[in-house]
Amino acid sequence: MTKAPSRRFVSGLALEDWWAVVIGLFLVAIGCLVFRAGMSLADVTATPQSWTSLAELRDQLTGDVSRYLVVGCTFLLLFTAAASGLGLRPFRFALAFVILLALAFVTLLIAAWIPVWRVGMGSPIIALCLGAILGNLIALPSWIKEGLRAELYIKTGVVLLGATLPLPLLQLAGPIAIFQASAIALATFATIYGVARFLGVNRQLSAMLAAGGSVCGVSATIAVAGAVRARREDISIATTMVVAWSLGMIILLPLLARAWYLPAGPAGAWIGSSEYADAAGFAAVQVYNGLLRGAPLMGSADQALWAFTLIKVIGRDMWIGVWATAVSVYAMLRWQTAEGGRLAPEQIWYRFPKFIIGFVVASTLIAWTSHAISVADYNHILGPRLIGPLAALRELTFSLSFLSIGASMRLRSLMPVGGNAFIAFATGVVVNLVLGFILSAVIFQDHWNGLNR
């Protein structure tokens, strides 16, 4: 048992979201201050460079070992503090984290090996596969599980992502992202819920499937599960459905985007509209960016990532609390599910994914640091000396997340789902894909194509 009495987790210190904000903003703030002082985070952080031979790799590692150690120790301290705040056992977490961190560096090094790099297999897919192999084929000791906090790592990565997303872009493209994501979410929610109810699926499971398939994957499923007082078995079915489709979409969406020659902006927006989990979406964008290298496609890797982030984080994640409240109001008025339950509009705030605050603040901090800098200096000085190192730290947190996801994904724990729930969800997937494609690649094509400008 961990030390987590019932009232403990209402405190912000026991929420992963706030720890992700603290860790992410700490790194961004340090980066900005160091830059303002005329130095650079690049002096103490390292990113694996592409390599072709073992001799080349050895030279690279020998030269960068001290910088890798600085990054490793900093991450170890920050994330162990977070683990302690969450009520996990810090010593066990630290042990597990050291192993995870070493594996994350290994995945980044593998992804930088030229033959792998040419295939376009980014570090997320490598980390996911490595984690899945370790989690399913090897009996991992129980203390390792203490370090598998995929959401903590991915949320920290999203905060760091804010530092690489220009604030003006957030202001200009945010409203369209919200409009597009909301339109798709409403249509998909209505489709899944309607089909599921028509096929006789119970109301709570229908609502969770609809939220998971339209709003934001497992996070929305969790939020709605609490709002409608869902049964444990139904939660397992809904989360399994979301996990299975999310994994499939990591490969399917980039391949379709590549096959249909979608430019980077619309492809990123489409992935943001149609992927269910943040982590899975980032992996899909990385796969697309890998495919982008050898293809005559228009746009940049940044453009795909920005479009994805705007749709997913600003357009979808931000509204989880609103959806949960709306569903709980509907449940209260129409189903009378929870005996003694009551409406709780305050959940709009309490269920709000707080890491989005960190994401926006990170973008603002970078805007503040770069406000007096010309575009040329931004590209040639700020980029390599501040944005680049923060992007490297982001990639490391994503690798930690994908390793955790792979290792947590025990095939035996997935519920056998099928029948009507599957049909309802699959129908919603089709509606989501088609609508997402029309809005991303047809109606708002120019908008998403113009993100670089």
Partner 1 sequence: MSAGRAAHPRGVCGTCARFIADRPAIEAAIPTLAIFGSAYASVAWDDGLCGRWDAMRSPRDTCEAYCLDPIAAQGEGATPTPGAVSK
Q: Closer CB to partner 1, residue 353 or residue 436?
A: 353
Q: Which three-class secondary structure state does DSSP give residue 113? A: strand
- The residues, any chain, with a CB within 8 Å of residue 20's CB and separated by 6 or more, are 82, 152, 155, 156, 158, 159, 354, 355, 358
Query: From the CB of residue 255, how many other CB atoms can be counted at a distance below 10 Å?
Result: 14
CA distance 88 to 299: 43
Q: Closer CB to partner 1, residue 86 or residue 161?
A: 86
Shortest CB 368 distance to partner 1, Å: 23
Q: Closer CB to partner 1, residue 197 or residue 229?
A: 229
Shortest CB 407 distance to partner 1, Å: 10
- The residues, any chain, with a CB within 8 Å of residue 309's CB and separated by 6 or more, are 158, 161, 165, 268, 272
DSSP 48-93: PPPBSSHHHHHHHHHHHHHHHHHHHHHHHHHHHHHHHHHT--HHHH
Shortest CB 64 distance to partner 1, Å: 32
Shortest CB 366 distance to partner 1, Å: 24
- To the nearest 10°, the Cα dihedral for 276, 279, 285, 288? -90
Q: Closer CB to partner 1, residue 87 or residue 174?
A: 87
User: Tokens 């959940």 identify what position?
Assistant: 347
Q: Which residues of 321-360 are buried (b: 16+ CB within 10 A; e: fewer)?
A: bbbbbbbbeebbeeeebeeeeeebeebbeebbbbbbbbbb
Q: Which three-class secondary structure state does DSSP give residue 108? A: helix
For residue 195, the surrounding DSSP H or E stretch is helix 167-198
Q: Closer CB to partner 1, residue 115 or residue 340?
A: 340
Shortest CB 5 distance to partner 1, Å: 7
Shortest CB 275 distance to partner 1, Å: 10
User: Tokens 């708002």 identify what position?
Assistant: 444
Shortest CB 233 distance to partner 1, Å: 7
CA distance 32 to 36: 6
Q: What are the φ/ψ torsions at residue 372 (nearest 5 degrees)?
A: -105, 20
